[in-house]
Structure 1
């Protein structure tokens, strides 16, 4: 059975808000219209998606499953519209995403040389959007760092590199050649803990890990500013730490932590001659 993407977007809004009124405002439609569309979707899927009473709206098991499956479907639809729109332009375009510290010059230069009439763009991504820009079509292919949510993506491993801890020069550990991950258990981590599962899963000394005093930093530059101010630490791939070398920071090898794995990623099921060619060039440049 085909799923109506408009109804799917309506469902996601309600599932995220867990309130039909707020979802209707977000979608700029009347609440009765939204309710009818959700009932129609439930009829099409032959499953109840929400449990509603006068006090609350909750997802059913079927609703939770659909909320997990819906974002890649909506992103793929948006990506297809974007690619079709670009294909209709006079100048063909190919966009490559890359994470901080990853140098893509060799592959991009070789690709541009082979296709002088193609506009080749690059887009710097972040931990939070490195997979989303692929799914929604902002880039055709991306150099990403694991771990990521791989739903809707195909990946090709390219290389791995060590990760290091970045600390202020006055830190108690700054003079050491290397540290163990357990030595960092009580430090404040200034990034998403899921990016450093080895630290996240450490047993901490009771009450000694500091309470978070500020929101997670979004960019490498922001993280390093906080580190320099002695607000915490970050774990970075070695190439990223070297690229952002500063006199008020040091980076140290960390024992007991895995390397940063770099992969090339693209939308699952997408096939094109240009994509195949760039994958080969990227693998050769990394090899």
Structure 2
């Protein structure tokens, strides 16, 4: 026969409490339900297990034997309940975050500051993760939230992963601050990509989605870009632009205002990347993930508002090596 651990535990409770009624209370059942379970157990084991009397219930020798094993089941059940409660309590305070550099510098810190104010006991960790690996890290259970980017096309994660849109991050042109397109017209003048057809370019490495987006935009503008320098870092690209040897297409969020550079907006339609927070579709065990996503969206709205609000003419900085402001 197949042993039912529930029957063993029931007998242990009857032995401990001395009555079917008390055992029923411990199991949050009615006395009638417990009586039915005893009848079934005796039928399954084919031997009397419980002796009912006017003062309660006692176990037969067979019932006592099975109850000794039932105590083991009950102790294991109690340990399982306590350990699960501890685990859920830990998970409710744990938040493992993966992000790429620009988001780590500009998007995440204000959100983490607000999170710490609300939950000072939160167990937070942050690691660098390239966008292409974010969903995989979530799916493998190594991260609770990953901030990732998708260039030009919406992110399409697998069914067990959920993508939460955060920020539309436009591409801008970073120029040497003495470039004719920077010095010969107002700082708020938008550039068309075809105006830069004859330039030397610093670009993200071939094979990256940002590089593909750049070449697609150049092709639509009617030229093939001359890429002189390749890098995996927008910071490096801007440092090279500052030397005066090339121009670059850079995410606005990633602008460093490197010495010797300025930037200009592109005329619409402009290339962009979309930032997402990625979680498991069922993130119920990590409630801080939902809180962080809400805070990230607040920060993203503030950033977008700042981008869309023109600086007053009297406060708009000139193109200097130190500001790089448009």
Category of TM-score, reference length = shorter chain? 0.5 to 0.7
Change (3 A) 1:184 1:124: farther
Whole-Å Cα distance in 1 between the matches of residues 147 and 178 of structure 2? Answer: 34
Take 1:237 and 1:151, find their aligned partners in 2: how far apart are those partners?
23
TM-score, normalized by length of structure 1? 0.55
Instruction: Tell me how far 1:267 sits from its aligned partner.
Output: 4.2
Contact map agreement 2:97 2:124 (CA 8 A) in 1: yes
Over the residues paired in the alignment, what is the CA RMSD in angstroms? 3.4
- 276 and 118 in structure 1: CA distance in 2 versus 1, 3 angstrom threshold: same
Work out whether 1:151 is the aligned partner of 2:157. yes
**Aligned-pair CA distance for 1:124:** 4.9
- Which of 296, 303, 307 aligns to 1:282? It is 296
Q: Residues 146 and 261 of structure 1 are in contact (CA less than 8 Å); yes or no, is this contact kept in structure 2?
A: yes
The 1:200/1:230 distance shift into structure 2, 3 A limit, reads: farther
CA distance in 1, matches of 2:121, 2:111: 17
1:97 to 1:223, Cα distance in 2 relative to 1, 3 A: same
**8 Å CA contact retained: 1:160, 1:262:** yes
What does 1:6-155 correspond to in 2, within 5 Å?
A: 92-100=94-102, 102-124=106-128, 129-137=130-138, 139-147=143-151, 150-152=156-158, 153-155=161-163
Alpha-carbon displacement from aligned partner over 1:220-265 (angstroms, at most 9, x marks no partner): 2211122223343222233432xx1133111112113436454332
Is the alpha carbon distance of 1:170 and 1:284 closer, same or farther for their aligned partners in structure 2, counting shifts above 3 Å? closer
Distance 1:141 1:93, change over 3 A: closer
| One of 269, 275, 296 as aligned partner of 1:263 | 275
Deviations 1:77-116, CA, capped at 9 Å, x for gaps: xxxxxxxxx99x9994522425416332332122223333
The number of aligned residues is 192
| Larger proportion of helix | 2
User: 2:196 and 2:143 mapped to 1: Cα distance?
Assistant: 36
- Kept after mapping to 1: 8 A contact 2:173/2:247: yes
Name the TM-score, length of structure 2 as normaliser: 0.49
How has the CA–CA distance of structure 1 residues 200 and 267 changed in structure 2, closer, same or farther, with 3 Å as cutoff?
farther
Matched-pair contact (CA < 8 Å) for 2:115–2:292:
yes
Whole-Å separation in 1 of the counterparts to 2:234 and 2:126: 18
C-alpha contact (below 8 Å) 2:164/2:278 kept by paired residues: no
> Does the CA-based 8 Å contact 1:98-1:104 persist in structure 2?
no
Q: Check whether the contact 1:95–1:120 (CA below 8 A) recurs between aligned residues.
A: yes
Q: Distance in 1 between matches of 2:272 and 2:222?
A: 23
Q: 1:134 to 1:93 in 2, by over 3 A?
A: same
Q: Distance in 2 between matches of 1:97 and 1:248?
A: 28
